[in-house]
Amino acid sequence: MFQGSIPALITPFKNGQVDEQAFQDHVEWQIEQGSDALVPVGTTGESPTLSHEEHHRVVELCLEAAKGRVPVIAGTGSNNTAEAVSLHKHAKDAGADAGLVVTPYYNKPTQAGLLAHFKAIHDSCDLPIIIYNIPGRSVIDMNVETMAELSKLPNIVGVKDATGDLCRPLDTYLACGPDFCQLSGEDATAVQFLSAGGRGCISVTANVAPKLCADMQRAWREGDIKTAMDIQFKLMPLHNAMFCESSPGPVKYAAELLGLCSSETRLPLVEIAESSKERVKAALTSLGMI
């Protein structure tokens, strides 16, 4: 259903407000550069600090700019089940192709709570769900048994796996079957994830290097493993720089250097340190991008 390079889109700001033109220009550029799908209002899109109205608007802006040329997977997660249901219904009504639903952060639900949370969202409307499992941010880890149980529901179609555990996609494949769509949530291990049964990567780096990320994924699909690895080696300094501080601070600074948008973030995120800026600049320079 979904594959390849899928940027987790930044949300540009200008004087504290969503920069709608910059965002839609960014969507257009992503498609021109070969991105295979788009994720608005995920964590990289600063969804925790968007109002509900802004969240809805960014999803709508993405769909309007994409014009059906690539799938749109809208971030619809929350640690409040009722809020996640509302966001998921809006994404369905707006025309999104799926919702990316993060495991509930801070609440620390049990595996039974995770089952109930995702089933409630699933039952709320007929929109495919990709589970977003990211223990590093949400604290909890959805285990393979829970995911296998959820995969039996018709509209739970896959996972964005940001566990960093490269045994996990193999175990998930065995538990959930070959049709369950596994997408990496970590740029640095994107190729290794493909070799373990993955189909693509929901990427931070693709915000600023979309063609390279798309070419790498395409090379893998075509069986050209050497080219895929050559591109990944080339991208590694940039992957590492994108996470030298909390995302999306570094990637927004990179986007500013490339003239895509302002590096402005919302509190509690702040401007990245000078040492981090130098690291981002060096990574972009190594790729001939600046």
Closest CA to 279 of 234, 241, 235: 241
Nearest to 256 by CA among 271, 244, 235: 271
* Catalytic-role residue among 14, 89, 106, 160: 160
Are 272 and 22 contacting, i.e. CB atoms less than 8 angstroms apart? no
CA dihedral sign, ordered 18, 21, 24, 26: negative
By CB atoms closer than 10 A (0-12, 13-18, 19+), residue 188 is middle
**CA 289, CA 284: separation in Å to the nearest integer?**
5
132 is catalytic: yes
Cα separation, 221 vs 209, in Å, equals: 19
Residue 40: cis peptide before it, omega within 30 degrees of 0: no
Establish how many alpha carbons lie within 13 A of residue 79's alpha carbon, considering only the half-sphere containing its beta carbon: 12
Q: Is 108 a catalytic site residue?
A: no
Q: Yes or no: say if 283 and 253 are a contact pair by the CB < 8 Å rule.
A: no
Indicate the DSSP class of residue 104: P
Task: Report d(CA 181, CA 183) in Å as an integer.
Answer: 6
Single out the catalytic residue among 132, 252, 253, 277.
Answer: 132
Instruction: Give φ, ψ of 124 to 5 degrees.
Output: -75, -30
The rounded Cα 232 to chain-centroid distance in angstroms is 18
| Residue 38 token pair | 């788009």
223: left (phi over 0), alpha (psi -120 to 50) or beta: left
Residues annotated as catalytic (active site), given as ranges: 132, 160
